Amino acid sequence: MFYKQFSVLIIKMSNFSFVLISGGLGNQMFQYAFLLALRAKGIRAGMDLMPYRWKQEHNGYELERVFGINEKSAPYSIWHKYYYIFLKKYCKKKVLSDYLSFYPQAFEKGIVFYDGFWQFYSYFKDCEEDVRKAFVFQGIDAENLELAKEMQTVNSASIHFRRGDYLNIPRLQVCDDAYYKNAMNHVKNQVGSPIFYVFSNDVAWADEFMSQQSVNYKIVAGNQGADSYKDMFLMSQCRHNIIANSSFSWWGAWLNENSDKIVVAPKEWNRRVSDFHPQLESWTKF
């Protein structure tokens, strides 16, 4: 009975691929953008939320709540789980996993599970309009909308300090003081009277650091927990962006539609993968 059901499942899924969605909001956005790119290439694919059955990360799956993406996921069952495990162990050509490396062959038909990060703009540059249409923020309250209007009327620059969990992840380095000082000096040299809007998961540290920099700044600290995504929305409303080595602020900068924007990004993103460079060529790196 087991083998009969298993065989039927393999036949049904042989012409359909799944992109596993996992991690925090920024990671989910890269994975969904990759899914849209697959479809734009004519590959039949859907999303798979199976990883959240194993491990709940950050605020869990957020694409529907944050962007209104109402899309069915692969139905979870013990057969689906074993199918994935079986292919990953015995038929690795059916499971494509990237590790922070660009795979031009990712769009080859026949892959069943795409289990990776896909954190490169190059994957979805040909369907950028589709991605932007998908990532329209929902449920932004009046207070954040008012702050966004303020950001649009001044020479605003978001600055993101990612600390907290990054302090305990060996492969990730926290951007040092020199990076942020160089980034702010670059913005000051290009923009008249900038106001830096500060985002961080360590507000006390960020406030102390900024108070020593002789710049005009404002701490943004009201969005926490399930409302954290509103910080990404606010980053996208600033005229310029200084990002951390974080997919969260990467998207805040990428979604910024200011045609004259200055985006500053860290030159080194991951200490264990020296050739991982998700930054866009037009961005300034320090």
What's the pTM value of the predicted model, to 2 decimals? 0.92
Q: What is the pLDDT of residue 14?
A: 57
**Structure confidence by residue, pLDDT tens digits, 133-169:** 999 999 999 999 999 999 999 999 999 998 766 656 6
**Structure confidence by residue, pLDDT tens digits, 231-278:** 999 999 999 999 999 999 999 999 999 999 999 999 988 877 878 899
Whether 36 and 130 have beta carbons less than 8 Å apart is answered as yes
Lowest-pLDDT range, 40-54, 96-110, 143-157, 164-178?
164-178
Query: Cα separation of 266 and 271, whole Å?
Result: 12
Q: Mention every residue, 6+ apart, whose C-beta is less than 8 A from residue 263.
A: 240, 241, 242, 243, 253, 256, 280, 282, 283, 284
Single-letter code of the amino acid located at 127: C
Is a pLDDT exceeding 80 seen at residue 8? no
Distance, CA of 251 to chain centre? 6
Closest by CA to 48, choosing from 80, 15, 96, 88, is 80
